[in-house]
Amino acid sequence: MNVQVVYCNHHTAALAVRERLAFSTAEQLRRAYDAFRDRFPGSEVVVVSTCNRVELYTAEEDPESSPTREQIARFFSEFHDVPLDDFLNDLLRQTGPEAVRHLFEVACSLDSMVLGEPQIVSQIREAYEAARDSDACGPLTNVLFQGALRVSARVRSETKLAEGRISIASVAVGEFAKNIFDQFGDKTVLVIGAGEMAEETLRYLQSEGVGRIVVVNRSRERGEMLAAEFGGIAKPWDELDAALAEADVIVSTTGAGRPIVDVERFGPIRKQADRKPVFILDLGAPRDFDPAVGNVDENVFLYDIDDLEATCERNRAARSGEIDRARAIVADETERFMHDFYHRATGPIIQRLREEWHAIRRLEMEVLEKRLKHLSPADVQAVEKSIERIINKLLHPPLTALRDEAKAGTPHGLLHALKRLFGLED
């Protein structure tokens, strides 16, 4: 058996690259599952696709049917029509315990920009449910993802990792925006972009009692859906300048290839807005706002992803003890999972080997009793016990080696060798 994850390294890959590899709609994801099963019929698969990460988990009963990193890269390339050279160097692969540990750390938000952010476990659950709905899961991925959800719950209950401001939106608004505005009930919030980051930010701002919400997005349909979800209004992309002039709070999450707002564009907008205080949170990577926009006048308060990361690092440093406790839980759960996982592979072979050798023992004892009828029942029992001890001693080294290899990692090589040596091939 085998489990692996292939993922786009969100620490090095540009947001634009991750967006090109993402599965942004339910229909696209269903098509991807169909295409993946056609290409790799021996694999179970779960895709985790969010605004920050694109990860593909596979599991196989037969390790030889496991797709390679290059094969999965070609799948991404052909499905999304993205050249391999644009992302191949950012595509990482982990197998066995490392893949399991990676998923557990993601589910526990140990791999997130904001330590302990709660939405990631919901995204993991939704990804798992979507895979089940598409019949892409199987017994191995079911156990894997149920384990991830269990580990996340344990970390949240046994550590303080999730206390305080823990989501990107809560840090952004709580640490930055509240330094500018005492309350949000009379404020107009403009969100540029309509992805998951925008949705999460709006959710937090709504909990702060924000007054009016305006969404501007290149896709009018997606913008209208997001605005409707939060009781706001959507405006077309060509009305962005007017929306910028009206806004008190601007949250930009487009991740365009270059800034969409520079000083030349923003200067006239500020005159139209009478230079009232405006808080701008630029969550684009690369930036949506030219950094010089923050110097247009003294009432422009521009914060970008670098400012947010600095706050997140302080958050992480303050919780270093909780990180250690969480990682200890993940390590414990990973070891337990791998023991159970490989027992599924080694257990039946061990049982079958014992059964076959002891079946031979019984047959030989029957022959021996017929030939040596003068033996007393006590003698027969003594001979049988002696043969049983010999068998157990002969079986002990290979079975111990198999168990040890299963604990250390994948036991596939030794498992295959034992099957051939002892005639246990299916």
Residue 166 has a pLDDT of 56
Look at 129 and 203; give whichever has higher pLDDT. Answer: 129
Q: CA 345 to CA 197: how far, in whole Å? A: 41
* pLDDT of 156 above 60: yes
Residue 384 has a pLDDT of 87
Share of the chain above pLDDT 90, in %: 40
* pLDDT of 243 above 90: yes
Residue 254 has a pLDDT of 82
Please state whether the peptide bond connecting residue 83 to the residue before it is cis, i.e. omega within 30 degrees of 0: no
State whether residue 325 is helix, strand or coil: helix
Q: Which range, of 5-19, 62-76, 175-189, averages the lowest pLDDT?
A: 5-19
Q: CA 217 to CA 210: how far, in whole Å? A: 20
What are the backbone angles phi and psi of residue 302, rounded to the nearest 5°?
A: -105, 125
144-145-146 Cα angle (round to 5): 95
Show Cβ contacts of residue 258 under 8 Å, excluding neighbours closer than 6 positions.
Answer: 286
Task: Answer yes or no: are the C-beta atoms of 312 and 171 closer than 8 Å.
Answer: yes
Both tokens of 22, joined, read 């993402």
Residue 164 has a pLDDT of 59
Q: Which residue has the tokens 């490392």?
A: 98
Element (H, E) at 269: helix 263-272
* pLDDT of 14 above 60: yes
Residue 113 has a pLDDT of 63
* pLDDT of 147 above 60: yes
Residue 184 has a pLDDT of 85
Alpha carbon of 56 to those of 39, 49, 131: distances in Å?
A: 14, 8, 11
pLDDT digits (tens, 9 = 90+) for 333-373: 998 898 777 766 666 677 777 778 888 888 888 888 888 88
Show Cβ contacts of residue 30 under 8 Å, excluding neighbours closer than 6 positions.
Answer: 134
Question: How far out from the chain centre does Cα 165 lie?
Answer: 21
Query: b/e string for 136-146 if b means 16 or more Cβ within 10 A?
Result: bbbebbbbbbe
Over residues 142-146, the mean pLDDT reads: 94
Catalytic residue among 51, 108, 137, 312: 51
Q: CA 419 to CA 399: how far, in whole Å? A: 12
Which sequence spans correspond to the domains of the chain?
2-165, 168-305, 345-421
Over residues 36-63, the mean pLDDT reads: 90
Residue 348 has a pLDDT of 67
Between strands 2-8 and 54-60, the pairing is: antiparallel
Q: Is the dihedral of CA 385, 390, 393, 397 positive or negative?
A: negative
Q: Which residue has the tokens 């993402």?
A: 22
| 51 a catalytic residue | yes
Look at 152 and 254; give whichever has higher pLDDT. Answer: 152
Ranked by mean pLDDT, the top range of 126-135, 160-169, 273-282 is 126-135
The pTM assigned to this predicted structure is 0.66
Share of the chain above pLDDT 70, in %: 86
Residue 104 has a pLDDT of 96
Residue 365 has a pLDDT of 85
Q: Which of 199, 207, 227 is nearest to 52 (CA)?
A: 199
Look at 281 and 58; give whichever has higher pLDDT. Answer: 58
CB-CB neighbours of 72 under 10 Å: 24
CB-based contacts of 74-82 (< 8 A; 24+ apart in sequence): 75/35, 75/36, 75/39, 76/21, 79/32, 79/35, 80/20, 80/21, 82/20, 82/21
Mean pLDDT (the chain, rounded): 85
Task: Give the CATH number of domain 2-165; options: 3.40.50.720, 3.30.540.10, 3.40.50.920, 3.30.460.30.
Answer: 3.30.460.30
Look at 100 and 199; give whichever has higher pLDDT. Answer: 100
* pLDDT of 420 above 80: no
Residue 341 has a pLDDT of 76
Both tokens of 358, joined, read 């002891």
* pLDDT of 135 above 60: yes
Residue 31 has a pLDDT of 95
Concatenated DSSP letters of 113-169: SSTT-THHHHHHHHHHHHHHHTT---HHHHHHHHHHHHHHHHHHHHS-TT-SS-SHH
Q: What is the largest CA-CA distance in the chain?
A: 114
Q: Which residues pair with 28 in a beta bridge?
A: none
168-305: what fold? Rossmann fold (3.40.50)
Look at 253 and 328; give whichever has higher pLDDT. Answer: 328
